[in-house]
Structure 1
Amino acid sequence: MKNSRKQSYLMSVLMICVMTITSCKVTSQEPAKKDIVIAKNAKWSDKMALTLMKRHPESYMLDDAKKPKWDYVHALVLHSIEELYKKNPDPRYKAYVRGYVDNLVQADGSINTYEFDKFNIDLVLPGRLLFDVYAYSKEEKYLKALQLIRKQLSEQPRTQSGGFWHKQIYPNQMWLDGLYMGEPFYAEYTAKFENGKSFDDIAKQFEIIQSKATDPKTGLLYHGWDESKQMPWANKETGNSPNFWSRSLGWYVMALVDVLDYMPKDHPKRKELIKYLNNSSEALLKFQDKSGLWYQVTDKGGEKGNYLEASGSAMFAYAFAKGANKGYLPAKFKKAANKAFDGLTTVLIKKVDEDGGITLTNCCQVAGLGGTPYRDGSYEYYVNERKKDNDPKATGPFILAALELNR
């Protein structure tokens, strides 16, 4: 009798322990979803960040990813959340960014899923997340990971004129996207670890694309430039792709304002970069729609199939606001940025979920040149590419713009 009572008591204790452990596991796996409350009066930057964290409890799940991947789209959103943390030091923001980095950076400084030998400049961008993590942790693995990404830039194939190829599989080509993918990391690295020795090379990347890809008529820059002029999409005289894509122009002006954070005030190339920013911004201002937004194909507003696109509009809002705040651009660009942000929040955020979550619509999911299936850079190509609500290429710049505008 005593034995059976004792066994029964032990079984009860064991069951309580198992239940406690199980419940602890569930809680630790799902803190983000259950704990996140999105207040109606929260700033737009917090609303968007918390929406993404609620819908994607682990940061590697951004963009609906099923497993951790070293990717520029995650990096863009997480960089914006890093910047948000500086204004609103909610520990959940810091943990969300750190979770992504720690899922991928190994003890020896190698990076899971990162493929060095593909020389894909997109894969340099996530390196930006390593600077802050290394600064506050001082763990050597993050420094080694930073050095690995820097090594890619040292060995990145270049055009004869000295510009980074966009990828190994796209020889002799520079795309506007690549300026944002590579140069802000390069600028921060050379400022922090190389005593600024590479600023001339960074400025050269902008010089090349500015001189080769600018349209003399509109002042806008074409999406891509092929130095060899061999690609079917390339103009046989200039090497440029045939159209102006707003997001690619957004990458370009964002690259300029972010690189200028690190370029010393007395550097001889600094004024040149500020001039490029002014030239591009003035050209873009001419194509801002009355809604405050920009069209997918920048200069063809109102043509069949064209639409007011979220990512390019958010990128311009951020670059204009930051440029004006820093004194690179005239004050009228802050006004244009606020108008763009009004368009994003009134035209493209059509509803708020019951939990306070927000959805940015009309985001072009992806666009490129060449490749398989072949992308010809035509007007029809750009306006028919897929759209995705809350695509990271729109939500990241949306957060950055909200921060610069204090919205």
Structure 2
Amino acid sequence: ATTSVTVPTSVQSYPNQVRTDGADLYWRYDDAVSPYTADSSVSGNRSGVQVNAPALKQSPGAVPGSTAMGFNGTSQQVHSDRRQSVGNTFTIETWFKTNTTRGGKLIGFGNNTTRSSGSNDRHIYMTNTGRLVFGVYNGSTRTVSTGLFETYNDNKWHHVVGTQGPGGITLYVDGQNKGSLNATSNSTYAGYWHAGGDNLSGWPTRPTSNFFAGQLDETAVYPTALTQAQVKNHFDLAKAPTDTVSTVKTTEDTYINQGAPSTAYGTATSLAVRGSGSLYQAYMRFDLPAAPAGQVLKSAALQFKTSTQASAGTADTVSVVPVTGTWSGASTSFNTKPALGATPLGSIAGVPDGSAVHNVELDTAAVTAVLGSSYSLGLTSNGTDPLWLWASESTAAEGTPQLVLTFGAK
């Protein structure tokens, strides 16, 4: 089976930096189905297994354009799917949001998957009062915690990082160093990474619950100890404006045929474009969104897919123009065709035969002027070679005509 994807015009700064800094486990929690959580690290080889159906697609996430995962604080967690060993140098990182007063483990390492781990450390957990604790075990529990009045169960997104290396262990919250301890070793055992819960028996200021009630986002593990500058950079990047890509499908579309001047094709599954001979023109209507707050339109493109009809492509140049007259799919025919604007918004110089997705870059300023309105586009050409493309009524859902709009910071 084939499918189409939309590639953003710019790199997402936060996940790009996580990968650049060497994460070998990276759970973004953008998954739409259970029970697996994708690993977005470069290696992509430590996926997560969801236990007891955490809530998916929680919005807004900690990073713009991403979603979070919700945990009930009693039984839900995600554990890695591969057993591994972890040395004395590592970093764990996650974003969280909660108002719980029962605490719980945010992220950690343990020797079991769904059963409570007998060996467990390299973890960050929250106390009942909302303080954060990072700890390892090297014969005794070695921990660093936030101050007595530094609590984070305020239902806001926070960033927490724990590192261990030759300099010991360090806890960072929201980009700031909250304390270090000269603990350079930890327990040696094979196990699994956990997010949202696992055993906390025997750990200082143990909370009421082993499981975390709240949302987690952007959980990552590194085989190195991130520096304070790297941690602060991650925190800052999550707050920085990022591009937003929106896809807008047609609300209706049709085409006209000079050879059948009184026929309306509003329910046709394909659209046609040809300039001479028997004239074909295609029309599409879109309900355009307004630009997100603080952002402007950076690029716009019309995306369509040629049909499976033989010779569906064209050797001719096809232009995208604004429709200035009124029309409807139910009643528009060659005899009642709407007027078109004279200035093209974009064009494509020929389309190869074969069913495939194509993009036509559009004039950004012209599209910006009509954001937040219902707007119609027409497809025209001057040659004799017809173009055939799927209409919104087609069962080829991935080929439905759509506008791809990229918004970014002013």
User: Which structure shows the bigger proportion of residues in strand conformation?
Assistant: 2
TM-score bracket, shorter-length normalisation: under 0.3
User: Which structure shows the bigger proportion of residues in helix conformation?
Assistant: 1
Normalising by structure 1, what TM-score? 0.26
